[in-house]
Structure 1
Amino acid sequence: MEAHPPRHVTLGLFIWMASLPSSPIILATASSCDFPAIFNFGDSNSDTGGLSAAFGQAPSPNGETYFHHPAGRYSDGRLILDFIAESLGVPHLSAYLDSVGSNFSHGANFATAGSTIRPQNTTQSQSGYSPISLNVQSVQYSDFKKRSQIVRSQGGIFETLMPKADYFSKALYTIDIGQNDLTAGYKLNLTTEQVKANVPDMLGQFSNAVKQIYAVGGRSFWIHNTGPVGCLPYSLDRFLITAAQIDKYGCATPFNEVSQFFNHGLKEAVVQLRKDLPQAAITYVDIYSLKYTLTTQAKKFGFKQPFVACCGHGGKYNYNSQRRCGAKITVNGTEVLIANSCKDPSVRIIWDGVHFTEAANKWIFQQIVNGSFSDPPVPLKMACHRTENP
């Protein structure tokens, strides 16, 4: 399904870009970047198999639309990261933790579903959050860089499965993380103000991770802010929300305010990182605005039922935390799938109550690839060029 914004939205994008802080557009004479590899860090929004490798495969019908079988992604198909890779001519990234059939010649994915910026004081089975927090991912990257070259030097098949040494400085480093840190606070019954109070520490640890990646070779960073947590069926079902806290579209205002608070701080952190890392090109991408627009104006873009999960079981949002997408029960000794997918995922936004469908991910990618929602407003293929404010 191809969903394109109507003309008035295109005009809106033009107006939005005109209102951006003065930041020079890269000259037309500048060459497109040659990104031979991608190294990704994050959570389930960009996990291509990390959590599945560690704790068991994301079950069918995950992956049904594109891969036609479970493929480590919590979606019916491709993620935004997959579309980024395709646009740069790079293969879909193998998860660093996956030992079966992985090819790291053009990068590696350190993201795992449930990951947070700050390490959580709970196990994965207790809270659902991954032990592979961002600081762990940055250590894994550093270790991978060293060991991959030792392995590559052995020649043969090993040489073909590992990135070349110069790929690390030329690669694109993508980061999408933070959403789980916000919901983790609410799971601990913190108030909105208490969750906000933790944001500076989250951002401090985020910046440290970027600096660590930079210290061992990273130069071009493509950083997504976090989406509107208050629009997810997971949040609307899981947390206590009063009618007065629901906006006119159906999203929970307090949770979205926290997301925006985090994003404001993240943008400031990126500005500081540009000062601290003189050779880095850092692009901040406003994923929040796109996900909120898509959810609240779904019909305009050809989507339906924006608050109802495509794959789930029961309830107002077709979401049940105890019977998530792919859940089965045993009836008379036979396993029966009770949380199956909807008939047409291509017109749905939310896949399983938490994650987006391939169609929604593709729509979002189509909006960000040309730089319309980036600061500085440069296309993905120009993201290796550092710009300076006058």
Structure 2
Amino acid sequence: MEQLCKLILYVTLLLLLPVSISSLQECNFPAIFNFGDSNSDTGALTAMFGQPASPPPNGETFFHSPAGRVCDGRLLIDFIAEGLGIPYLSAYLDSMGTNFTHGANYAPIGSTIRRQNTTIFQSGYSPISLDIQYEQFSYFLKRSQIIRQKGDIFKYMFPEEYEFSSALYTFDIGGNDLSAGYQFNMSIEQVKAYVPDVISEFTTTIKNVYALGGRAFWIHNTGPVGCLPYILDTQVITAAQVDNHGCAAPFNEVSQYFNKQLKEAIVQLQKDLHLAAITYVDIYSAKYSLFAQAKKLGFGNPFLVCCGHGGKYNFNNAMRCGWTKMVNGKETVPAQSCEDPSSRVLWDGIHFTEVANKWVYSQIADGAYSDPPTPLKMACHKMI
């Protein structure tokens, strides 16, 4: 009897031990479904409104022409796809010869978690909020299987039904919910006051995707918006509010408040959604580290924009990268790219350059910034 009790105790202790990463096989994700904003839009807004959404010189470094991305090249989601051996994601809204076999991207430029009470022409914020992205995904899941049944070429344009539960679900959204408040002249305290509602909307979407079979979630928190020229150049910031690395501390504190609320919500989801493997990725710390170490890493001034026009940061919110204006009856492009985008952290004052995105990916892929500390290729496993 004593031996049996010892055996039971031993087995119980083994079950309580954390899962060892080294003992697990890498995940074989057949597809990625991405939800987000301009940090991961691979062509949604361009499909809606045409090339003005991401005009030249966007795309010049890697794609050598505009590719629906607000960047000189690849985004973080592109490097995630590469890391998993999956083709770059096509935008769900792009109907031009698109193959969705390996997933779909629902993220448009300007998207928010909460719906905005303005049009995109008034504020620049997309009507495709996170709840709408979920509805698009839900429709895609159901409709894709009906289309596959037609056979022929249609069979090879969409994932098989079982692949939806084996896919990776990535989320990179929330920054615009904060910047929208600043744009509409809200105080920092007013913006913080609606963060819990934003987080509630976010968790509702995670639960909805889970209910449709999603099991592996890779969720980015929001970055240090107080380090972006978009904030530094358009908000009233005193010298005392600038931190040791040149970022606007009060605005970063709001981002950190958002991230704290998000992490608490995800911890609860990890408990509630028993079959889900949910990884919280601290993008804030990875990106802030890049600003802090920029000169050491060979980037020089991290706030100097590559594609911009005038001012302290080479940023003009009224004349962004690639925008045109008429001068003496001729169309000109004042905001053009710098000679070497690989020497800059920031592409246009809001978004990172390809080389900066690649650096951030190199920091997060091994799980060093994740909770639980799960590498990207192990994100299908539920860690204790």
TM range, smaller chain: over 0.9
The CA RMSD over aligned residues, in Å, is: 1.3
Counterpart among 123, 132, 136 of residue 132 in structure 2: 136
Corresponding residue of 1:366: 362
The equivalences for 1:106-255 within 5 A come to 106-255=102-251
Structure 2 CA distance for aligned equivalents of residues 313 and 176 of structure 1 = 28
Structure 2 CA distance for aligned equivalents of residues 23 and 192 of structure 1 = 43
Q: Secondary structure at the match of 1:238?
A: coil
Q: Secondary structure at the match of 1:351?
A: coil
Aligned pair 1:347/2:343, yes or no? yes
Corresponding residue of 1:32: 26
Q: Secondary structure at the match of 1:28?
A: helix
The percent of aligned pairs where both chains have the same amino acid is: 65
Question: Which is further off, 194-203 or 331-340?
Answer: 331-340
Counterpart amino acid of residue 132 in structure 2: V
Structure 1 CA distance for aligned equivalents of residues 197 and 79 of structure 2 = 31
Structure 1 CA distance for aligned equivalents of residues 328 and 19 of structure 2 = 65
4+ runs of 1 displaced by more than 6 Å? none
Corresponding residue of 1:385: 381
Counterpart amino acid of residue 212 in structure 1: N
TM-score calculated relative to the size of structure 1: 0.92
Q: How many angstroms does 1:159 deviate by? A: 1.3
Structure 2 CA distance for aligned equivalents of residues 48 and 206 of structure 1 = 21
Corresponding residue of 1:8: none
Structure 1: unaligned runs, 5 residues or longer: 1-21
The alignment covers a number of residue pairs equal to 367
Q: How many angstroms does 1:332 deviate by? A: 4.0
Structure 2 CA distance for aligned equivalents of residues 203 and 180 of structure 1 = 13
Q: How many angstroms does 1:157 deviate by? A: 1.7
Counterpart among 92, 96, 99 of residue 88 in structure 2: 92
Counterpart amino acid of residue 266 in structure 2: V
Counterpart amino acid of residue 315 in structure 1: G
Q: How many angstroms does 1:234 deviate by? A: 0.4
Corresponding residue of 2:6: none
Counterpart amino acid of residue 346 in structure 2: I
Corresponding residue of 1:15: none
Q: How many angstroms does 1:76 deviate by? A: 0.2
Alignment deviations for residues 19-58 of structure 1 (CA, whole Å, 9 cap, x no partner) = xxx9935341211111000000001111101111112221
Corresponding residue of 2:294: 298
Corresponding residue of 2:12: none
Q: Secondary structure at the match of 2:314?
A: coil
Q: How many angstroms does 1:340 deviate by? A: 0.5
Structure 1 CA distance for aligned equivalents of residues 189 and 355 of structure 2 = 35
- Ranked by relative contact order (alpha carbons within 8 Å, sequence separation 6 or more), the top structure is 1
Q: Secondary structure at the match of 2:278?
A: strand
Aligned pair 1:44/2:38, yes or no? yes
Q: Secondary structure at the match of 2:23?
A: coil
Q: How many angstroms does 1:365 deviate by? A: 0.3
Counterpart amino acid of residue 243 in structure 1: A
Structure 1 CA distance for aligned equivalents of residues 104 and 73 of structure 2 = 19
Alignment deviations for residues 277-313 of structure 1 (CA, whole Å, 9 cap, x no partner) = 1100000001101111101220111212210110011
TM-score calculated relative to the size of structure 2: 0.93
Corresponding residue of 2:326: 330
Alignment deviations for residues 124-172 of structure 1 (CA, whole Å, 9 cap, x no partner) = 0111111100010011100000001111111122111111111100000
Structure 2 CA distance for aligned equivalents of residues 138 and 342 of structure 1 = 37
